[in-house]
Structure 1
Amino acid sequence: MGLNKPNQLSITRRLRHQSQSQRFPLVNKWTIDFSSERTLADQASPDNLPASKRLPQSPLITHPQPGPVKIRKNRPTRNDTSELEKNPWAVALASPVRMCSVTGARIPRDLLGEWGLVRKPDTENHYLLPVGLMKDALKPRSKAEANGPEEVRADLPSTDEATQESTIVNAVRQEKPGQQLLLRMINSQPLLQALSKPLSRNSGKRPAIAKILPFRWKHPLGPITSRVEKQLLWRPDMADYVLRQRQQAVINSLDKVQRRHPRLDLPEGAWKVLDVHEPSVTAISEALGRLGPLERMASGVILLLSPLGGSAPTAETLYSPTTESEVPLFDLPALLTPSDLAKLRATEPGYFHGDAVFFRPDNRVDVEAVLALWNLQRYAAGVNS
């Protein structure tokens, strides 16, 4: 019995030691190193990473940059803009967008008309007129021209209207630059026809024409007081008056163009007289094809000088076999008066002696002439543009 007790005690101690060794295993230096490497490898595996670290990260975090970088487009060179500057349609559409004071429509500035107040001489009344179409007539004159006789245009029906026209022009010439108030109005003949009757009435304390004036013109922001509003006038025949002014603007523009291109025999000139056998759309299209390929041919226009045969209305475009596209066509006998057309045919370079001519703008003056033709055509057709 005495021998069994120590054996039982040793067995108990051995079991206790084994249990404690299992709970707190003794590891050596090598075991610690290997276990640490194994633990790091387990943590680096995608399955053991948390969900927040397994999600894709933003490039702003993975590839940080020192500061904000703004990518700017290169500015156009002179070669890039030279071709567009000679294209009338690109010039008109690229002009700044402005608002029509009557309709509120926002369209490019070159498709709007400029209007301003013009004082009637010896009175305190003011007319609202399209001063943008009267730039040549409103230029300051020299003393010799001012003392000379006034030129009365033949298109005015009576002497009273001619006198009134000349006095209005003289009044505007005396105004200093920057003193004239300007508003913009859409180029529409039906709009002016609808406005002429109500705006020409002066009954009541406040005339109807004062309603279309911009707010910045009126007191206290502008110089127009309630007393000046009562003295504003509107021509009853404003639609016909603007049509005549647009026709005169076309004549003046074409006259400037002819002075810049005095020679007709230049191979790369702006003017090309079309050899038309008969005034028809087919004949003009064939004559245009015989010109062959020209530089910037798509920017050119056709000026029709003789009325087309038949009763069908003249088309606004004509097919060009060379460029395989439509070319704008301006029917001058339908747009201008017979006296204006005879004046163009009497010019010396001979551009308007035939039935049709092809015109390709080469500078800013040529572009303005084409835009004047385009505005006249849209105005005569009754299209809001």
Structure 2
Amino acid sequence: MDPIIVSARQRYKEPKHTPKPSSLTPFQKKLQQNPYAHILASPVRMCGSTQVRLPSFFHVDLYTKLHPETRDPWLLPTTLSVSSLGKRVVDQGTPLRLLGRRRIVQYLGVKRRWLYAMSLRLREQLGVRTSKTVWREDMADLVLELLRNAAVKELKRVFQHSNASLVVPYSNGIASVEGHDGVACVLDLSGSTTMRQFEAARARSEKLAEKGDDLVEQVRKIRDWKRTNLKEPMLGSELSVNPAPRLAPAVKNPPLQFETTQYWGSEVPIYDLVGLLGKDRVVGLLAGTASVGAEYAVLKTSKLTVAAQTWLYKLQVYLV
């Protein structure tokens, strides 16, 4: 065949070369330093349990690995192990893909519900061994442990980097963050963010409880008036049997939103490291750094901090 035609056909089939940093445009450099751009750039995949389609960043993939003794397939989050971080994911077969939420993992672990989340391709891959597949009882805690280890590993790279300007500790209150340049996120090193969230949630729940009590009192007055003034005995008896409505616990205690703070007209996230990683991990992370004893630390916008920010966000989403 004509070599010109062959080269023309293969022209757009060749893999693109990784662009050099010197050839990036200012906008491309800005995207490279944006963790949310990396998150949204991950391929869209579907959760096997909820059927929700989101970027694969928001999922936890469980791959089947054979037990060395029994040879039974075990579902394991192998891509979350610290040894696999930063490495190209090799083909491990078809995963059981779930939304990265702890409550979903806990729900699927009851009564083997995870079997119904398996895709047809995964069932065909396992074949007769599908019924012998093992789901660890501590799967939710295992995923949490791996996410924490991954976040700590990336944070250590930032805290121990030779460029000391990547992390700037301070203790002048959360509002003083605007005194720093290029802030990507704020790290709460003392755990005070959790207390603020708790106080805000309690205040909202108390207001909702007061409104609920007022509604109950109004309904009670209407019921008493109808029982006294209406002549229909059936209606009066029905009203006397049905209790007044009460607020549901989910309404009285709404889920907390992610904590953010104002930074020159935009919002930057606040990560409560004590709540996300645990106190012991935070103490080990800060040991020997300039952030020891500080209340907060600013993580600067840089491609060197993108991995730490994405793992912190993934961990925060998992714990919601």
Class of the TM-score when normalised by the shorter of the 2 chains: 0.5 to 0.7
Secondary structure of residue in 1 paired with 2:39:
helix
Secondary structure of residue in 1 paired with 2:109:
helix
Which amino acid is 1:305 matched to? L
Which amino acid is 1:284 matched to? I
**C-alpha distance in 1 between matches for 2:118 and 2:260:** 41
Matched with 1:216 is 121
- CA deviation string 1:49-103 (max 9, x = no partner): xxxxxxxxxxxxxxxxxxxxxxxxxxx9633211011111222123221111222
Deviates more, 1:180-189 or 1:308-317: 308-317
Matched with 1:128 is 75
Could you list the runs of 5+ residues in structure 1 that have no partner in the other structure?
1-75, 141-175, 200-207, 277-282
What is the RMSD computed on CA atoms of the aligned residues?
A: 2.8
Matched with 1:149 is none
Mapping of 1:179-218 within 5 angstroms? Answer: 179-199=92-112, 209-218=114-123
Matched with 2:312 is 373
Deviant stretches of 4+, over 6 Å: 137-140
Cα 1:375–1:247, aligned 2, differ >3 Å: closer, same or farther?
Answer: same
Aligned pair count? 239
**C-alpha distance in 1 between matches for 2:93 and 2:45:** 18
Which amino acid is 2:130 matched to? E
Q: Once the two structures are aligned, what percentage of the paired residues are identical?
A: 25
Which amino acid is 2:91 matched to? G
Mapping of 1:238-317 within 5 angstroms? Answer: 238-259=139-160, 261-264=161-164, 269-276=165-172, 283-286=173-176, 288-291=177-180, 294-295=181-182, 297=183, 300-308=184-192, 311-313=195-197, 316-317=258-259
Matched with 1:358 is 298
Could you list the runs of 5+ residues in structure 2 that have no partner in the other structure?
1-22, 199-256
Matched with 2:48 is 101
Cα 1:135–1:289, aligned 2, differ >3 Å: closer, same or farther?
Answer: closer
Q: CA deviation at 1:340?
A: 0.8
Cα 1:138–1:81, aligned 2, differ >3 Å: closer, same or farther?
Answer: closer
Q: CA deviation at 1:357?
A: 0.3
- CA deviation string 1:231-253 (max 9, x = no partner): 21011222222222211111111
CA contact (8 A) 1:115 1:184 kept: yes
**Structure with more relative contact order (C-alpha pairs < 8 Å, separation 6 or more):** 2
Cα 1:338–1:187, aligned 2, differ >3 Å: closer, same or farther?
Answer: same
Which of the pair is proportionally richer in helix?
2
**C-alpha distance in 1 between matches for 2:192 and 2:29:** 36
Cα 1:328–1:112, aligned 2, differ >3 Å: closer, same or farther?
Answer: same
Matched with 2:265 is 324
Asked if 1:230 corresponds to 2:147, the answer is no
Q: CA deviation at 1:344?
A: 0.7
Which amino acid is 2:146 matched to? Q
Secondary structure of residue in 1 paired with 2:153:
helix
Q: Which has the larger radius of gyration?
A: 1
**C-alpha distance in 1 between matches for 2:166 and 2:53:** 33
